[in-house]
Amino acid sequence: MDRLDGNQPALDMIDWLLETASVRDFLQHLVDDAVSSSGANGCGVTLQRRHRPLTVVSTGEVADKLDEKQYGQDDGPCLQALRTGEVVHVPDTLRESRWGSYPSFAADLGIRSSLSLPIPVGSHTAGALNFYAADPDAFTLKDRQTLASSAAQAGGAIALAQRLADSEDFTRDLQTALASRRVIDQAIGSVMQQCKCTEEEAFDLLRRLSQQTNLKLRDVCTRLLTDLAGQPPAPRQPLRPRP
């Protein structure tokens, strides 16, 4: 895999995604390559969902420990970048007074500087790309510009994965709704035939049965059709994308 540089075209991200088995693998390749092409000794990708941060991939011996320290005290440069959407640069942990005991903890682990870059992901997920270095002032302006490209590519990959997941959730919900509608329509037709009533009267009867038995309407309709036919209604074939 070619190393990242500040002029790497966005289309390379698609090539990388096609070459990897999952978004997690893609992010692992991304941070490994970013660390090898910069002055960093380690890197972690932090994502937050439902207000809980988590390191999804990392490289280097101390990245996980530094991330977890920040999560434990609910404060630190990576969380600040994640929450504010702003780059947080720590030139030297020995001269840093923010974030309580975190700077001294990092210095004790041999980390003197860090760079946390917000990942532009989406409305329901926040993220940050966190680089750690043993040397003070390890991240030059050029490094920061180059690594910002890594954060943008990480965000693109995660956003793509979210869209795919949202699409799959929508398809499943739609399949469930269609299956329920089919069973309810069949039950209404059966009640209309048995009771010689209108569609509205049949639906009202089924709705009252649902309330009386404290069962979902679909379950009431499924039981009715099973009693009439001696077997449950056949499931509808799942939706398939068009070729």
Q: What is the pLDDT of residues 165-204, one digit of tens each?
A: 555 555 565 566 667 778 888 888 999 998 999 988 888 8
53 has pLDDT over 60: yes
CA angle 85, 63, 81 (to 5 degrees): 10
Confidence of residue 238 (pLDDT cuts 50, 70, 90): very low
Task: Outline which parts of the chain fall under CATH 3.30.450.40.
Answer: 11-166
pTM over 0.85: no
Third-level CATH fold of 169-229: Arc Repressor Mutant, subunit A (1.10.10)
209 has pLDDT over 80: yes
Q: In what order do the strands lie in the sheet with 88-90?
A: 52-59, 42-49, 125-133, 113-122, 88-90
- The predicted model gives 73-85 an average pLDDT of 92
Distance CA 47, CA 45 (A): 7
Give residue 173's pLDDT: 53
Task: Outline which parts of the chain fall under CATH 1.10.10.10.
Answer: 169-229
Confidence of residue 126 (pLDDT cuts 50, 70, 90): confident
Question: Two tokens at 235?
Answer: 């499931």
Q: Mean pLDDT of all residues in the chain? A: 78
Third-level CATH fold of 11-166: Beta-Lactamase (3.30.450)
**Tokens 């009439």 label which residue?**
228
